[in-house]
Chains A and B, each alone.
Chain A
Amino acid sequence: MSPSSIIITYSLLFLFLVSLCLFGFIVVRRVVLERRQAWFRKVYEQIEKDVLQAISLFDSDFSLEVARKHKAHHEVLIQVLLDFGDIIVGEGKDQLRIIFNHAVKNRCLKRLSPWRTAKRLQSVRLFIIFFDPAESPVLFRLLEDKPIIKLAVINALSRIPSPDTLEYIFRAFETDLGFTVHAYFNIMFGLGNRIEPLVRQSLTKALSTDKLGLLVELIGTIPLRNLHEEVVALAAHPDKEIRVRVARALGKLLIPETAGTLAALSRDEAWEVQAQAVKSLAKIKSREALDILTKALFSPFWYVRYNAGYGLAEMGEEGLERLKQMASQPDDRYARDMSVMVLNDLILPGEAT
């Protein structure tokens, strides 16, 4: 046999063996995963039964016994505690805390530092669910960790209604360089009116446009009506994005005194601001809004006309009357088409019912 034939034969053999190993690996992996899942389900059911009994008996000795009994199955126990910890409150939660403290707490403390992010996230969640003020330094230290851990901590901290945690969240927000608008927005939104003083305080600081925009958006979405003056003050901000957000926030706060600011924003140099201001004015439903929206139907910008059209539709009888007038006027084809479209859209849902 020539060397080339030997190499080719061995190569083909190699490929055949690789494919055999690959197939074998896939089969074994599936079997192992299925067995592991079946075992996990079985143990989970056992632990779940005991935990349910513990939270209904309110007997700390029984809870201690459960902790001792299932300490060896810590992975499953952690999952059970995570599932129940989020939904159980009151005395039942105290029993869960006993199980956590005696069975898995030390393990979770150790797992706060390994390289596997998933395990760290699990541990962080458990520490937050069974929050003990004495352990807060451990959690706050994690605010210096990588973004995903940091966000998990902030997210979890937001469930603990203490002034300390709120301050930590805002401090993290103000200093965060790897800034994630979406994450902070959701966390802060969940905190509701409690954050009003902290938002007011943050607005006075030198924040980046993104962060400032987030706070304005937040004021509108929660809504934090007492902060409307701070929002109005930002209507002259040089950044267009901030002015858009101011217009949007005012449309959500629905304070009649801010109609003047919105009227001014509807004449802004940027069409994006005009479009948002027109939309918000329609929500406030002030008398002067009717004229502004009717005029906006003649705007050279499609989005302004679009928002003005649907805005008039939102304003009830008078708005509809204006739309009908605009739909029959011969001077401006664009204003007419937009009015016809809005009127047409209003009829359709009526027919559907």
Chain B
Amino acid sequence: MSSVLHMIVHSVNIIILAYFFLINAFYLLFILLSLVGLFRHREYVRFVNFKEVFRFPLVKPISIIAPAYNEEKTIGESVRALLALEYPVFEVIVVNDGSTDRTLDILIESFALEKSKRVFRKVMDHKPVKGIYTSRVHPKLVVVDKVNGKKADALNAGLNISRYPLFCGIDSDSLLEKDGLLKMVRPFLEEPEKTVAAGGIIRLSNGCSIRGGQVEQVRLPRNVLARFQVIEYFRAFLGGRIGMSMLKSMLIVSGAFGLFRKDIALQCGGYRTGTVGEDMDLIVRMRRHLHNMRKPFEIRFVPDPICWTEAPETLKSLSRQRNRWHRGLIETLFYNRIMLFNPRYGVTGLFAMPFYFIFEMLGPFIEVVGYVVFAVCIGIGLINSWFAILFFLFAVVLGTLLSLLSMLLGEYSGRQYPRLQDILVLTMFSLVENIIYRQWLTLVRVAAFIDFYRGKKEWGTIQKKGFAPAG
């Protein structure tokens, strides 16, 4: 009996160690690739004047689609920032997705909106539109008021109403840097036929001061949870996404800031409603569609256009957000399971999907099992000292090293934290991120798995404070 127990524990130990080693090794690879990518990009952009895009006769106009649900605190500032973007031709479509607060009223008052008789081509189904408003002072602005149908439904309505060949999905509580679109459109200019989507960097606006819809001073958040998220965002966007993009395996273009070719999105049926991970789902279906059509394509990550968003600052809000993200991931992998390990889908089927399946979807389970086995072994005196050491090295030391390296990526990216005290604080937070915070997030993701199994489709409201004004 004892030898069987030993064998089981030994096998579980090996699986857990292999998991921790592999996931951290992959992230280390991504970070190293990202460093190379960032260097290359910096060298390239030194000789590129993004404003030259204004002279290019072939530049494609962009429809910015911003779904809004109960965003009364930030909507005015966000829309003003969108309207002030630097780009030759664009329109801003704000979709009020049945808000129960004053979102629509604020929009009507702030931008002198009037009900319009605009008609649109209903390519995709969505909940009924109650009214379309145009502004007397901002010809680029269109506001769609519709019955609540969640984010994907709102985006589909925006897609139907949009007029231009490229569209940029953006969260209405986010702030886009003025030259964000000019930078983001570069891959579409370089390879107009192949590029179907591009993503930019999401940074956290907590702690920063905002003036005129633009981040004026970059500061570290005061909230502890938000500080941990700063490191996470560095690792995810500057490490993970640049690395995945270099391996041609990017499966996520954040819903908060992504630029897409409209024709391809429409061919795929637009955003899938009834899912909470509509951003990842769209990219995966685009990949699937283009692989099926045998068309060469590129999904690129551009490391300098920055979109600022507010991070949740309470445990409840953060757990709701991460629960939703993880359910979105599971749903996307489930709906597109035919692509998993399928050589027909090239690198997507053989690397990207399996990576997300093993390390992102199943990862939390393996981690929890690891922690439980570790605790049980200590409890019953079965602890193998080499397992304990390796577990510590792979899970904690390597994990912390990755967090520290992602700080380096943050330093090489644009708009870094100017104050050295902020860097010092971030360094200290990187040291402790892998203790308690990571384990708590793992539990949240396991709970998300259970919620998915129970069929939960809720988004969950996230408390936001709104942007801090400058001065």
Contact = CB atoms under 8 A, between A and B. Distances in A.
A186 B56 contact: yes
A4 B43 contact: no
A75 interface: no
Contacts of B114: 348
A118 B139 CA distance: 41
A182 B52 CA distance: 13
Contact of A15 (B134, B388, B401, B420): B401
A75 to B, nearest CB: 13
B124 to A, nearest CB: 13
Chain B's interface size range is 35 or more
B389 A4 contact: yes
Contacts of B6: none
A345 B118 contact: yes
A210 B116 CA distance: 40
B431 interface: yes
B58 interface: yes
B423 A26 contact: yes
A344 B55 CA distance: 32
Contacts, number: 107
B57 A185 contact: yes
Interface in B352-388: 385, 388
A27 B416 CA distance: 13
Interface stretch (B100-108, B186-194, B227-235): B186-194
Contacts of A210: 193
B424 interface: yes
A341 interface: yes
A19 B430 contact: yes
Contacts of B46: 118
B136 A189 contact: no
Given A22-B408, A344-B117, A348-B114, A15 B136 contact: no
Given A181-B192, A302-B121, A22 B385 contact: no
Interface stretch (B168-176, B268-276, B304-312, B392-400): B392-400
Contacts of A11: 392-393, 396-397
A16 B119 CA distance: 62
B404 A22 contact: yes
A140 to B, nearest CB: 21
Contacts of A23: 423-424, 427
Contact of A7 (B116, B192, B389, B400): B389
A303 interface: yes
B139 A349 contact: yes
A348 B136 contact: yes
Nearest to B418: A30
The majority secondary structure among interface residues of chain A is: helix
B117 A351 contact: no
Interface string B188-229: 011111000000000000000000000000000000000000
Nearest to A119: B43
B458 interface: no
A323 to B, nearest CB: 13
Interface in A8-49: 8, 11, 14-16, 18-19, 22-23, 25-27, 29-30
Interface in A111-133: 116-118, 121-122
Contact of B58 (A8, A181, A306): A181
A341 B117 contact: yes
A294 B47 CA distance: 50
Nearest to B55: A186
A117 B43 contact: yes
Contact of B407 (A22, A217, A302): A22
Interface in B5-62: 43-44, 46-47, 55-58
Contacts of B423: 23, 26-27
Nearest to B117: A344
Contact of B420 (A4, A19, A22, A27): A27
B118 A341 contact: yes
B401 to A, nearest CB: 7
A26 B407 CA distance: 10
A217 B119 contact: no
Interface string A133-160: 0000000000000001000000000000
Contacts of B120: 302
A261 B430 CA distance: 67
Contact of B136 (A16, A118, A337, A351): A351
B431 A4 contact: no
Contacts of A148: 44
B118 A344 contact: yes
A118 B43 CA distance: 6
B436 interface: no
B293 interface: no
Nearest to B191: A180
B149 to A, nearest CB: 22
A28 to B, nearest CB: 11
Nearest to A82: B47
B411 A29 contact: yes
Interface in A287-310: 302-303, 306
B137 interface: yes
A182 B56 contact: yes
A217 B58 CA distance: 9
Contacts of A181: 58, 192-193
Nearest to B46: A118
Given A181-B192, A302-B120, A348-B134, 18 more contacts: A2-B385, A3-B385, A3-B389, A4-B388, A11-B397, A15-B400, A18-B404, A22-B408, A23-B424, A25-B408, A27-B423, A185-B56, A186-B58, A210-B193, A337-B117, A344-B117, A344-B118, A352-B136
Interface of A: 2-4, 7-8, 11, 14-16, 18-19, 22-23, 25-27, 29-30, 116-118, 121-122, 148, 180-183, 185-186, 189, 210, 217, 221, 302-303, 306, 337-338, 340-341, 344-345, 348-349, 351-352
29 contacts: A4-B385, A8-B389, A11-B393, A11-B396, A15-B400, A15-B431, A18-B401, A18-B404, A19-B427, A19-B428, A22-B427, A23-B427, A26-B423, A118-B44, A118-B46, A118-B47, A180-B190, A183-B190, A185-B56, A185-B57, A186-B56, A221-B57, A302-B121, A337-B117, A340-B117, A341-B116, A341-B117, A344-B116, A348-B114
Give me the 8 closest cross-chain CB pairs, A-B, nearest first: A302-B121, A344-B117, A337-B119, A182-B189, A341-B119, A118-B43, A11-B397, A352-B136
